[in-house]
Structure 1
Amino acid sequence: MIGIVDYGLGNIRAFENIYRRLGIAAAPVKTAAELAATERLILPGVGAFDWAMDCLTRAGMLDTLHRRVLEDRVPILGVCVGMQIMADGSDEGSAKGLGWIPGRVERFDGKWFNQRTHLPHMGWNDIAPVAGEPLFAGIEEPQYYFLHSYFFRPAAEEHAIARSQYGIDFASAVRRDNIWATQFHPEKSHDWGVALLKNFAGIA
């Protein structure tokens, strides 16, 4: 079963509904015991970095989440702020991130933009995946829905598995071993998002 980590943030129901239509078992997990029974995980998130880390800590699942991901090597997909909190930290606040993928979350600089570009980065944008990445297998001309003012800058370029343009070229998806994450929202991205979530469910 795919466990959708429910710590008070993110579009839990949207992920659940997509997997139900695909005939793939998925359900919210709210406790450490439920987390321990999953085969793979989705870590959604919206809002501010520090608030997300505080909510995850107060939910009482942090230690089990670390064990499942780093020791048991369960596949996990972070989404939006769920991606950002996988970094070491963020310019948005002072909280320490999960540190699963080395790097830092930075704010887009308005000096990078022309007059018609502004924050937040909201709406549809193209992505350019790296060749052979299974998360994007079979997805042609991928476009996804974004809503963010901060972006993940991985410390190692090899961890960027897709890039997009918004004032600058930035990593719109990252991966390290069994850990995947997207800045965009697959659950809001129609057929492209459904295909990505189906791919994640089948990754060995």
Structure 2
Amino acid sequence: VESAALAGAQLDNEQIRGMLQLLTNEAAFLVEAKVQKLLEPLPLDEQNLLRIDSILKVLGVESAADVEKMLGYFLADADDHELIHPNDAIKAIKAFVEDHQRRADAAKGKARAAAQTADEQPGPSREEVEFWARMASIISDKTLRVWNALEKALLKHNELLISRHAKMNDVASLHVQNNELKALLNQYLASRVNEDLICPPTQTIRLDEFASFQNTGPMG
């Protein structure tokens, strides 16, 4: 399994490959003994990769950018891009770790300074506090009570309007249904089928109306 630093680094770069090989050969003492023991059953390629990963973690190398920076300490000639002699590997490692630690400490110092500056931002002045305190009491208790009573009355009136609106919708719906029933009844009474009946519905309706008229008598 590759570390995050190795996964992002340009491993096709011969100088980086050479530097990693130097680390494996000259800085193996940075790998803990128990880790070394766990690596023994693995194939050689996996041993080297995991050993490099362990060394980089000890040195604080966490990204591909850190690997690139470390390479600068292992180049004997910046123009020819030749690596240092293996005997100088420990010096290069020490120089890198010291500079890397200084950069990390400087970054932490800036972060602390920024946090401290944020904490030291001045708060509201006494005049601002007094102003907002006055604004909080600008409306009297009597006015608030009147507003609360008015709000309750308006809410009750709104409920009444909603109820009335619902009833009006019911009445309109019944009116539509009544018209539909009338139209259906007229269609039924006007049908030619009624002519073949012994007692057509129209005659029955007229007889019922006459009987009702006799029972109630003429109005007036």
Structure having greater relative contact order (Cα 8 Å, sep ≥ 6) = 1
Q: Which has the larger radius of gyration?
A: 2
From the two aligned structures, give the one with the greater strand fraction: 1
* Structure with the bigger percentage of helix: 2
Considering the TM-score relative to the shorter chain, is it more than 0.5?
Answer: no
Category of TM-score, reference length = shorter chain: under 0.3
Alignment TM-score, normalising by the size of structure 2: 0.18
TM-score (norm 1): 0.19
